[in-house]
Every structure is written in structure tokens, then in C-alpha cells.
Amino acid sequence: MSPLLRHDTGRRDAALERRRSTVVMAAAGGLGAVGVLTGMLAASASSTSGNASDSSGSNVGAVDGSGGPSISNDGSQPSGVNQDPSSGGSLNPPFNAPSLPRGRGGGVNAVTGGSGR
Amino acid sequence: MSVAAVDGRALGTSLRVVATDAALLDAARAAVDRVVGEIDATCSRFREDSEISALHRSAGREVRVSPLLMQALRAALRGARLSGGAVDPTVGSAVRRIGYEGDFATVARDGAPLRLTVTPVPGWRQIRLDAGARSAFIPEGVELDLGSSAKALAADLAAAAAHAAMGAGGVLVSLGGDIAVAGSAPEGGWVIQAAEDSNAAVDDSAESIAIRSGGVATSSTTVRAWRRGGVALHHIVDPATGLPVQGPWRTVTVVAADCLDANIAATGAIVRGEAALAWLGELGLPSRLVTHAGEVVRVAGWPAPAGVALG
């Protein structure tokens, strides 16, 4: 894998400061074989990386909550949808842990996977 | 009581609604169609008449937005923050530059070479929301792509709306493999087959899990993919480069408290690469990750099939 395209977020800021690179993808090449033609990154790394601790969300107000489809549950499970950027310290794990299905045969309710068509 | 299901299409992908009571399936489907239609009219960057397209045309000034667009924007910014910037809604221009310029059905699967520049996306902190005034501001030149979060949000909202319309029982909604459930689960739980492609045929020998609440989402580099100049491209863009992610995972499936969080985590894991294993583990999100070589790694309580050790 090209060092340009590594995804170790811990190294991202430093890497970003070094690169603003024109990349040419040759017909027989790949993203792993890109050519670096010019350097120096103009954009601010802080606009594209970071973590929850440095995102104050100071421009984001409280949830309005009016109108639109609403979330309604009968209490059998928590209403998990949480779109308030200014609250919630992490992504929420499931209320019930997933388990292996009991038995085999014809019981699949849905298939999860990538969506392309 | 056996479940009943209906299949269709929405948001440019497959739609499946499953109800625990066949007599309530029509009510569930109608509610799902309403919510999904609203999401499409609000969040589709491929529709000139969508509200987000209007927001793009208003870039550079603060504009009032609908409650639903505000909700979707807030969801996207929350996802960006909680993923450490790995899932960033300002990838719109980058996605367009790599050839994904319209509904995926219209994207040519092969074509001439592209000349691409490593350019970090503008960044989610450029977006300003004022919930009190219900207004949004995006700088000129910034194009949003809520695809990563809006479909999952739609699944969550649709499941909740369907359950409310049914008045009893439980419902599952799948939008292209992004799955949300609401209400009571059938005996044994909702059985979800994990696959690369949400259009895969049901296979009793394939790996499946059972869930009783929340959501499941999968992000994959293998399905929404195309070639330019012989180079394989896909739709998951690394905000740091503006180019398709080149990481170790081709597919990640996550179970979370709702589909939105599952989607954020799945996409975030693809972008984070190797670091995703620790991240998902710390978050306690049961996940199944597939390497490009096909090796499967299960973390944080994703149940391993019999005879398979947890990764």
C-alpha cells in the first residue's frame, strides 16, 4: 500500500502537512501505484481530521425536534436514534447482544451487505 | 405467528419490510414509503429538486431548512465527530470527482482514466447549524453527501414510523442492507444474514445472527464499485485524501443501538483501517470485518459460528 494512502489516523495530520499531490492513475495502474508529482498541502489538516475531544461543536445548537418523522417505540427497546452532535460521547452499542440463530433453514429475515443496485 | 415480508426499491437500492403480523404489513409498508419518500426528497444529492440541492445552491449564506434536513445534517455531523472525522459529509465533491456523479444505476461501470488530485475534503467543521433558528450554512464550494448516514437514518425512522402505524407487533426495515427493527421481535429474534452484497440470495449455510432490537449496517468497498482506466474505484472516500479508501477491510458489518450508529461505525471502520479493531472493541459494537483476502474477524461480541474462534 502506498504511504500516501495509509489510514492510520494517528499519522494523518503530519502526513497531510507534507502532501498536496497530483495523482495520475495510469490505465494499468491502481490507487496503490499512484505517482506523486507535486507536493505541499495547502488545506488545513484540522479541517479534515481530529477526534471527538477536539470538536467542540460550538456552532451547533440544541435539537429542534419538531416536525418530520418521529421516533416511536413501545418500550420494548430503547429509541436509539440520537442525532444531537453536541451530546452523546460515543456510538451506542446494542441494547441486546446479537446471538446465533436457533436452528437452520428458511429463517433469514433480511440480508445485510453492501448496496449497489 | 409467522412473519410476512414485502420487497421493493427505494433510495436507489433495495427495500424490504418484514412484519411480525401479516395483517399489519400493508400499514407498515405505507409508513415506510412515506418516510423514505421524505428522506429522498430532502437528502438526495442526485435530485435537482431536493432540499439538499437547494442548500448547495445557497452555499455561502445561512438558510432556513426543514426539520428533517436539520435532523439529517445533525446526524451527519454527529457521525463525523464520533468517528474522529472518518465519516465526513463534506465528501460530496470528492465522490463526484472519482466518477460517482449520479444515482449509482447511472454510473458507468467502466470508463476512461481519471486524473485525480489528493485533496482533503473541506471538513465537517465547515458546516454551521443553528437548531434554534433551524438554519444551516455551508461554505461556497462545499458539496455534502449524506449517503453514508441518510439511508441508515431513513431505516431507523421508517421502522419507528411503521411500528407506530402497526400499533402492535414488530417490524424490520432494510434499505440496501441497512437494517432497523422496532417493536417486539419474532421468537428467536430477527435473523440477519451477513453478506458482501445485500442483494445476495438467502443462504441457510451463510453466516447469520439474531437481533432483538437496534440496527445492523454494512459498509463495503466491493459492491458500489466501478473502474476508470482499468483502476478499481469505490464509493467510500477517505476524507484525508479525497480518494477511495485503501485499507485492509473490504466489508464491515456492525450491530448497534440503531442503524445510524451501526452505519457510522461500519463506514468509520473501513476508513480507519487496522485501527478499527481497537475502536470497535472499545465502543463495544459487535462487528464482523472481512479483509480483502476474505479473512473474517469478529470483535466485541459478534457471535462466532460453531467451531470458529473470535478474532
> Which range among A39-48, B29-38, B102-111 has the greatest average pLDDT?
B29-38
pLDDT band, residue A51 (cuts 50/70/90): very low
| Residues B271/B236, Cβ–Cβ less than 8 Å | yes
* Angstroms from B86 CA to nearest CA on chain A: 7
- Per the listing, cell 442492507 goes with B177
pLDDT tens-digit profile of B123-134? 999 999 999 999
pLDDT band, residue A35 (cuts 50/70/90): very low
Residues 226-245 of B with CB under 8 A from A: 228-233, 238-241, 243-245
CB contact under 8 A, B66 and A68: yes
pLDDT band, residue A81 (cuts 50/70/90): very low
Of the candidates A6, A15, A114, the beta carbon closest to that of B218 is on: A114
Give the three-state DSSP class for B121.
Answer: coil
What nine digits make up the cell of B163?
411500528
pLDDT of residue B101 exceeding 50, the answer is: yes
How would you label B65-104 residue by residue, b for 16+ Cβ within 10 Å and e otherwise? bebbbbbbbbbbbbbbbbbbbbbbbbbbbbbebbbbeeeb
| Residues B18/B3, Cβ–Cβ less than 8 Å | yes
| Residues B252/B218, Cβ–Cβ less than 8 Å | yes
pLDDT band, residue A103 (cuts 50/70/90): low
* Angstroms from A56 CA to nearest CA on chain B: 9
* Angstroms from B151 CA to nearest CA on chain A: 11
Of A2-11, A66-75, B86-95, B245-254, minimum mean pLDDT range: A66-75
Residue B3: what are its φ and ψ, rounded to 5°? Answer: -80, 160
pLDDT of residue B146 exceeding 60, the answer is: yes
Measured between CA atoms, the residue of chain A closest to residue B234 is A116
Nearest to B12 by CA among B89, B106, B98: B106
Predicted TM-score (pTM) of the model is 0.79
The pLDDT of residue A55 is 32
pLDDT tens-digit profile of B200-214? 888 878 899 999 999
pLDDT of residue A4 exceeding 50, the answer is: no
Pairing of strands B231-234, B237-238: unpaired
What distance in Å separates the CA atoms of residue B88 and residue B86, rounded to the nearest whole number?
A: 6
pLDDT of residue B265 exceeding 80, the answer is: yes
Question: Is B135 within 8 Å of chain A by CB?
Answer: no
What distance in Å separates the CA atoms of residue B176 and residue B115, rounded to the nearest whole number?
A: 31
Paired strand residues for B298: B288
Domain ranges, ordered by start, for chain B: 4-299
pLDDT of residue A28 exceeding 70, the answer is: no
pLDDT tens-digit profile of B274-290? 999 999 999 999 999 99
**In chain A, which residues have their Cβ closer than 8 Å to the Cβ of B261?**
80, 82, 91-92
Give the three-state DSSP class for B290.
Answer: strand
Q: How many CB atoms lie within 10 A of CB A6?
A: 18
What nine digits make up the cell of B62?
445561512
pLDDT of residue B307 exceeding 70, the answer is: no
What nine digits make up the cell of B2?
409467522
pLDDT band, residue A79 (cuts 50/70/90): very low
Give the three-state DSSP class for B71.
Answer: helix
**In chain A, which residues have their Cβ closer than 8 Å to the Cβ of B189?**
99, 101
- Mean local confidence (pLDDT), A26-30: 35
Fold category of B4-299 in CATH? T-fold (3.10.520)
Summarize chain A as % helix, strand, coil (round to 5).
20, 10, 70
* Angstroms from A81 CA to nearest CA on chain B: 6
**H helices within A24-112, ranges in order?**
none
- Mean local confidence (pLDDT), B101-117: 77
Tell me the residue type at B95. V
What distance in Å separates the CA atoms of residue B55 and residue A26, rounded to the nearest whole number?
A: 36
pLDDT of residue B220 exceeding 80, the answer is: yes
What distance in Å separates the CA atoms of residue B248 and residue B237, rounded to the nearest whole number?
A: 14
The pLDDT of residue B119 is 86
pLDDT tens-digit profile of B72-90? 999 999 999 999 999 999 9
- Mean local confidence (pLDDT), B111-122: 83
pLDDT of residue A62 exceeding 70, the answer is: no
For testing contact with chain A, the best of B24, B118, B179, B280 (most A CBs within 10 A): B118
Check residues B231 and B142 and name the one with the higher pLDDT: B142
pLDDT of residue A104 exceeding 60, the answer is: no
The pLDDT of residue B308 is 63
| Residues B146/B78, Cβ–Cβ less than 8 Å | no
Burial class (CB in 10 A: 0-12, 13-18, 19+), A63: middle
- Per the listing, cell 440463530 goes with A101
pLDDT band, residue B193 (cuts 50/70/90): very high
> Percent of chain B having pLDDT more than 90?
72
- The helix/strand count (H/E) of chain A reads as 1, 3
The pLDDT of residue A88 is 59
Give the three-state DSSP class for B270.
Answer: helix
| Average pLDDT value for chain B | 91
| Residues B251/B219, Cβ–Cβ less than 8 Å | yes
